A and B are shown apart, each in its own frame.
Chain A
């Protein structure tokens, strides 16, 4: 078990190194001279050169890279040009909002898509099979920001069921005391039912938007792998042994069928983290995505770089978790590693 985790960690390291190099190269590709930008239009040659020395952009590339890496090691992501605030700090305060949204979205999609796929596979030709098929073709074509807006129109404007799609909490409520940064958890810990419900109401539409977006690939994969497993020899053996159909479907078929679904989850996460940015914009969600978008519009590069780096690190970490989960279920991976 430990060797599995160790092995996967070792495999994640080249990815992380790649991520660091790419984000560094992206900074160097910045159009124009950041020193000149910092100094402003009225600056003299002298002043620009000084800033350049201060920023270190007059040094050879390799030295700059060394400095970049040592900054990263200290958790230093630079300062925002527009606000002057530390990017690392800003990202740290905003990250829980994004993480809560992504994780709830992910949970929602698993809760919806996996049973759909299983039912579609075990009841071919039934209405749920048809729904799954339609959803998995149409679902991949829906632009996530469009889905979000449609949900807003229907559930906020038309039905009035959900609150105004702005932020994580109704403006008249104050955030629960900060423990994890996840409003749902913090509100639950503070036993504040009102805030919990309000936070949940704000969260449900954006999370649903993300879930609809990721529904198609997961439902499709669950259905396909469940179908494949149901016709596998060992399921036939289990049936021939007279095991109850719930035992056959859950212990024998599903546990095997879930393996490719877990692999797909890794790919879906890539899309989900990207979609997160768009959903945050639609719902004015105060996460790191909207932080980056604001900075992008202002050509403020440091926040964007910090954002890209954080997202990539998050993605690598989540993939690591997925790999380990896979190994926990599949002894062939666990034991041979």
Chain B
């Protein structure tokens, strides 16, 4: 197997808050291959965004990365110097966010916002930047790009703004795109269009995509592989088809069970017993799902099976639901 586009290995992040230290991520490991679309799913607060921010190096000041590596093209992003990171960010790895309307500068023309990134990362002269920005708007399916480039975000619809975000993210042709709930708040048709644009750009350029979502149904449709997170841990990773056919972690199983027809949003369903544990607690059980888990063993409080960051599959459970399906080990 070729080197993955991104390898995250044993990543831990803590937040210093007034009410104590929040252990937001602990030992998070996963990888994404070139050209692959990896979905990261989990309840609200499970640490999906924090993982993405840590990789991008845009965690806020209260956060500290306490362990781990995030290797992209031979460079450990977590250990890289500020200058090196500034080169990588936006060029090698780009990110698009939820809420496209607020994610764009409200008082700058969208064409200029794209041009800012082009000037920074792509070898583009100031004279050519506006033209290049218009071309990019065209590639993300914006009609009348010449006029739209002169628009301000408030003059565009949410879907339009998200296309602009994609254009910004793709401006420097990154090798990895992280999309953090890129379609939340958009209507279903627009959702599909946005996801199509991302998929189309990814397959055109061989870019890897990490797609963060609440929506297990959307993940099922769009992802090659799915990583399931719970309370700052990666609990399971499998190929999409296999995950739905044979969920092995009790949490994954509960998640899928709570998703009728794989179409509803997780957030709207409350059939998973219990809540996320308080991540500020001084002593959390080794498996953070233990308190909610119907299959809990005594060992779950004290140890957690480690996962191989380079493997396509992962499982952090002492008492999984069913044995892995045959012929998967290869």
Contacts and interface: CB of A to CB of B under 8 A. Distances in A.
A239 B57 CA distance: 9
A335 B116 contact: no
A127 B165 CA distance: 38
Nearest to B87: A242
A82 interface: no
Contacts of B61: 124
Q: Is the interface of A mostly helix, strand, loop or mixed?
A: helix
B103 interface: yes
B165 A237 contact: yes
B72 to A, nearest CB: 13
Contacts of B155: 335
Given A240-B94, A241-B168, A234 B120 contact: no
Contacts of B99: 233
Given A237-B97, A332-B152, A242 B90 contact: yes
B18 to A, nearest CB: 14
Interface in A238-257: 238-244, 247, 251-252, 255-256
Interface stretch (B2-10, B104-112, B309-317): B104-112
Interface string A325-337: 0000111100100
Contacts of B95: 240
A247 to B, nearest CB: 7
B306 interface: no
Given A240-B89, A332-B154, A335-B152, A255 B120 contact: no
A233 B116 contact: no
Interface in A283-325: none
Interface in B117-131: 117, 120-121
A251 B116 contact: yes
A332 B109 CA distance: 11
Contact of B120 (A231, A232, A244, A335): A244
Contacts of B169: 241
Contacts of B107: 255-256, 259, 329-332
B90 A256 contact: no
Contacts of B121: 242
Contacts of B254: none
A255 B107 CA distance: 8
Nearest to B152: A331
Interface residues of B, number: 32
Contacts of A247: 116, 120
Contacts, number: 80
B191 to A, nearest CB: 19
A259 B168 CA distance: 25
A64 to B, nearest CB: 49
Interface string A33-68: 000000000000000000000000000000000000
B60 interface: yes
Contacts of A330: 107
Contacts of B60: 231
B205 interface: no
A191 interface: no
Contacts of B154: 331-332
Nearest to A124: B61
Nearest to B102: A233
Contacts of A241: 89-90, 94, 116-117, 120, 168-169, 171
A256 B103 contact: no
* Residue among A234, A255, A329 with the highest chain B CB neighbour number at 10 A: A234
A234 B89 contact: no
A178 interface: no
B91 A242 contact: yes
Contacts of A242: 86-91, 117, 120-121
A124 to B, nearest CB: 8
Contacts of B88: 242
Interface in B63-102: 86-91, 94-95, 97, 99, 102
A132 B105 CA distance: 27
A230 to B, nearest CB: 9
Contact of A234 (B58, B86, B94, B105): B105
Contacts of A244: 86, 120
B154 to A, nearest CB: 5
* Residue among B86, B89, B103 with the highest chain A CB neighbour number at 10 A: B103
A48 B103 CA distance: 74
Interface in B167-193: 168-169, 171
Nearest to A333: B107
B106 A256 contact: yes
Interface in B142-166: 152, 154-155, 165
Contacts of B171: 241
Interface in A212-248: 231-234, 236-244, 247
A246 to B, nearest CB: 11
Interface string A257-274: 001000000000000000
A255 B106 CA distance: 10
Given A234-B103, A330-B107, A331-B152, A243 B58 contact: no
Given A242-B117, A259-B107, 4 more contacts: A233-B103, A234-B103, A240-B58, A244-B86
Interface of B: 56, 58, 60-61, 86-91, 94-95, 97, 99, 102-108, 116-117, 120-121, 152, 154-155, 165, 168-169, 171
27 contacts: A234-B102, A234-B103, A234-B106, A237-B97, A237-B103, A237-B104, A237-B168, A239-B58, A239-B89, A240-B56, A240-B58, A240-B95, A241-B90, A241-B117, A241-B171, A242-B88, A242-B120, A244-B120, A247-B120, A252-B105, A259-B107, A330-B107, A331-B152, A332-B107, A332-B152, A335-B152, A335-B155
Interface of A: 124, 231-234, 236-244, 247, 251-252, 255-256, 259, 329-332, 335
| 3 shortest interchain CB distances as A-B pairs | A242-B90, A242-B89, A241-B90
